[in-house]
Amino acid sequence: MNVVGLTTSHEVYIASKERKFRMNELILIEDPNQGPVIGEVSETFSYNRYIPFSVNHDFFDAKVIESLKRLGYSIDEEEVNVAKVKLMTETTYPIVTGSKARVPQFFEVKNLLIKGKKEEGLVLGEIKHTEETALTMEDELKGLFYVLNKGSAEKTKGVPFILDLRSFQQYPHIGIFGGSGSGKSFGMRVIMEELMKKRIPSIILDPHYEMDFSNSSGLPESPDFTFEFQKFQIGEDIGVEFSALSARDLLDLLSAVKPLTEAMSSAVEILFKKGDTYTSFSSRIEDLCEGLEMGKTKLDKMLSVEGLKDSEREKYKRLRELIEEYSNIPLPSVQGISWRLKRLYYSGIFSHDINPVVNALKAGKLSVIQGPIWLLQVFATYILSSLYRKRRDYKDGELKGEIGHEYFPPFVVATDEAHNFAPKGYDAPSKGIIKEIAQEGRKYGVFLVLATQRPTLLDETVTAQLNTKIIFRTVRGNDISTIMEETDLSSEEAKRLPYLPSGDAFVSTPLFGRTIAIRIRYPYSISPHIKNPFDELVEQSKKEKDEYFNLIAEELPIYETTLLKAAKNISSKNPKVVLEVNALKNILEELVREGKLKKEESPFGSFYTEA
């Protein structure tokens, strides 16, 4: 390998006849005057001077090239490999053309590749194309995990990519961007696994019900995460404590069911009293509803009726007072609030609290919060605010020297579909708290891991606070330009984004000061629903056909003239099956096509029989 052509003090070209270059490889250039200089391959070319670019040119005749090969002269071997190499640090003078270049030894580039100890960081995967350099790496860093290579999991041969946990103090938040199928979910899973391995208290919002870590992906020596995480269903395991709600929280909750009208919102603000329990609030709503339905006149009339039971009199009086007090609230608004409140109630959300999550966090576990997306969003607002407040109160108390604040650990908040929780351009209940954590979470040790396939739709303030960005394959143009604005990805790297293989990603982090191409390690656990829906369809239809075949088998042979009888027999023997003649004929024909039955001719017409 040699430096060729025009050089600058930040970029050179390196050519080699024998060795092919790979993107993002580190190359050491031995400049005779300036000593060793490290660079990274930013573009690769290979060219063959005998097979020029132009198709109309002299040489493009495959037959001739083939004939020459036959004679022993293979033009392919005349290939020259060229790499554009960006220097890590600018040199004082341009590199000397002709300088030798080589693959560096591990110790020569260690500080560029490894930041932090493997025990103290998240080991997310391998740095791409570092196999050669990794040969000279310390044994304790070798083969730490598995990577997927052409469909099968193999032990890594590269240099590990370690995201130092200590660095979170300085660069607290992580963004994960990438389209569907890009490996984004795997990336999220790997981060969660690493957090569990380090016993970092974490909470993940799981709208897709996929964050289960108890199924092993089949790798040898995989850790058991069964006791490192806990799943919580909103409304079943956890919920909100109604009495702890503020009017704002309640509004968010209600509007999550269906957006509230202006009138409804103000009605809630008027009707909700601090310290209300679910019962006190809901009965107030119900009573007001009833009162408004009856109307003042009717209520007065009822109250003037003789011989009314005391309890009834009480009730009418109460209703009368209520409509007096809230006379300006229209009935439809109250009704709207009423059904929203009921829907929330039936989801079970008010029957539980968040203590299980608090306990899990204190135990250093990962809490997986699951629920339908409409509920998850509001609930997230509630739970994140509560947890964040607990941590903030503890830390602030500590700072002020106050004792007696209950200890609450630092924690990581993660979510996929982050653009739903902190959307750009419009308001969402959870946006406020996520923005707050993004901006000042660092101070309190609350960190975000936000994944989205649409970085463009994510709130800009939040995006700007994501210091470390892991970028998987992205196809949309506007997402790519957002990514380019928000990271130090070069335009060459951005051009590669649509073509990144699944599981490959660029990591842009101030910790490394440059973009690193990595391959995410293969997770130890797998998502519970990884079965392809089309496999499922095929399986299902095969199952059905087998069932029909068994039913029909008993009636064989079936003559075309006795179809009706056969259909009746089958239906009568199997109460669940209702078969009429045409359907039976279709199934028979289908089975003939599949070769399970055959159709034969006889003097009595054609008949179906076993093949």
Partner 1 sequence: MKKEENFTDVSEDLKEKIKETAEKLRERISKRPKRERIRTVIEENYIGEFLKADKLSESELDEIKLKGGIAGVDGSINSIGGVYPYLFYIKRALGLSSEKRREEILLSEVDSPLLLDDLMDEEEYKALLKKGLAELEAKAAKEALERFNPKVLFLDGSLVRFKIEAKDYFEQIKNIALNKNVIVAGIVEGISTSLISSLIRELLPSVFKYSADWEILLGIMDMGEYLEIKPGLFKEGFRTFFMRSSIDPKPIGVDILEEQKEYAKFVANLVYTLTPENSRGIPLWMDIIDKRVKIRDPFMEMVAKSYLGEDFMEVLTPKREKRNP
Interface contacts to partner 1, rule CB under 8 A: 49-50, 56-61, 63-65, 67-68, 70-75, 77-78
Considering the complex, what minimum distance in angstroms separates the CB of residue 14 from partner 1? 17
Q: Which of 271, 184, 238, 36 is nearest to 500 (CA)?
A: 184
Nearer to partner 1, 76 or 539 (CB): 76
Between 98 and 295, name the residue whose CB sits nearer to partner 1: 98
Nearest distance from C-beta of residue 39 to partner 1, angstroms: 23
- 3-state SS of 71-102? CCCCHHHHEEEEEEEEECCCCCCCCCCCCEEE
CB 76 to partner 1: min, Å: 11
What minimum distance in Å lies between the beta carbon of 64 and partner 1? 5
How far apart are CB 74 and partner 1 at their closest, in Å? 7
Amino acid at 419: H
To partner 1, the closest distance from the beta carbon of 59 in angstroms equals 6
Q: Which long-range contacts (CB under 8 A, 24 or more apart) does 244-252 make?
A: 244/386, 245/276, 245/382, 246/274, 247/272, 249/381, 249/382, 249/385, 252/378, 252/381, 252/382, 252/429
| CA 452 vs CA 125, 213, 370, 473: distances in Å | 20, 21, 17, 12
Q: How far is CA 418 from the centre of its chain?
A: 9
| Cβ(103)–Cβ(159) below 8 Å | no
- Pick between residue 98 and residue 477 the one whose CB is nearest to partner 1: 98
By beta-carbon proximity to partner 1, the closer residue of 94 and 397 is 94
Rounded to the nearest whole angstrom, what is the least distance from the CB of residue 506 to partner 1 in the complex?
Answer: 36
Phi, psi (degrees; rounded to nearest 5) at 84: -90, 125
> Which of 222, 125, 134, 204 is closest to 502 using CA atoms?
125
Q: Which residues, including other chains, have CB under 8 Å from residue 85's CB and lie 6 or more apart?
A: 11, 12, 13, 14, 27, 29, 39, 40, 41, 42, 101
Token match 């995990």: residue? 145
Q: Give residue 468's identity as a one-letter amino acid code.
A: T
Residue pair 157/201 in contact by the 8 Å Cβ criterion: no
Identify which of residues 16 and 105 has a Cβ nearer to partner 1 in the complex.
Answer: 16
The least distance separating partner 1 from the CB of residue 4, rounded to whole angstroms, comes to 11
CA distances from 540 to 36, 222, 522, 534 (A): 63, 33, 30, 10
Q: Give the count of alpha carbons within 13 A of 174, CB side only.
A: 26
Buried b (16+ CB within 10 A) or exposed e, 72-90: eeebeeeeebbbbbbbbee
Cβ distance to partner 1 smaller for residue 49 or 301: 49
CB of 101 vs partner 1, minimal distance in Å: 19
Q: Which is nearer to partner 1, 68 or 556 (CB)?
A: 68
Of the candidates 199, 322, 226, 222, which has an alpha carbon nearest to the alpha carbon of residue 270? 322
Of 32 and 498, which has the nearer Cβ to partner 1? 32
Nearest to 174 by CA among 144, 204, 129, 145: 204
Comparing CB distances to partner 1, the nearer of 98 and 605 is: 98
Comparing CB distances to partner 1, the nearer of 97 and 541 is 97
Lookup: tokens for 394? 């503890």
Closest approach of partner 1 to the CB of residue 44, in Å: 23
Nearest distance from residue 118's CB to partner 1, in Å? Answer: 47
Toward partner 1, which CB reaches closer, 97 or 246? 97
Among residues 74 and 481, whose Cβ is nearest to partner 1?
74
Residue among 77 and 535 whose Cβ is closer to partner 1 = 77
Provide the phi-psi class of 370: left if phi over 0, else alpha when psi is between -120 and 50, else beta. Answer: beta
Q: How far is the CB of 71 from partner 1 (least distance, A)?
A: 4
User: Is residue 162 within 8 Å of 117, Cβ to Cβ?
Assistant: yes
* Nearest approach, Cβ of residue 8 and partner 1 (Å): 17
How far apart are alpha carbons 525 and 214 in whole angstroms? 7
Q: Which two tokens stand for residue 47?
A: 């060219």
The residues with which 515 forms a beta bridge, in sequence order, are 508
Nearer to partner 1, 72 or 220 (CB): 72
Minimum CB separation from partner 1 for residue 544, in Å? 55
**Cβ atoms within 10 Å, residue 602:** 10
CA distance 593 to 451: 49
- Looking at the Cβ atoms of 13 and 394, the one nearer to partner 1 is 13
| Closest CB 36 distance from partner 1, rounded Å | 23
Beta bridge partners of 48: 79
Q: Which of 611, 603, 562 is nearest to 584 (CA)?
A: 562
355-362 helix and 373-400 helix, angle to the nearest 10 degrees: 50
Tell me whether residue 80 or residue 611 sits nearer to partner 1 (CB atom): 80
C-alpha to C-alpha distance for 136 and 353, rounded to whole angstroms: 54
- The Cα-based distances of 445 to 163, 395, 416, 584 in angstroms read 16, 9, 21, 67
Shortest Å distance, C-beta 87 to partner 1:
23
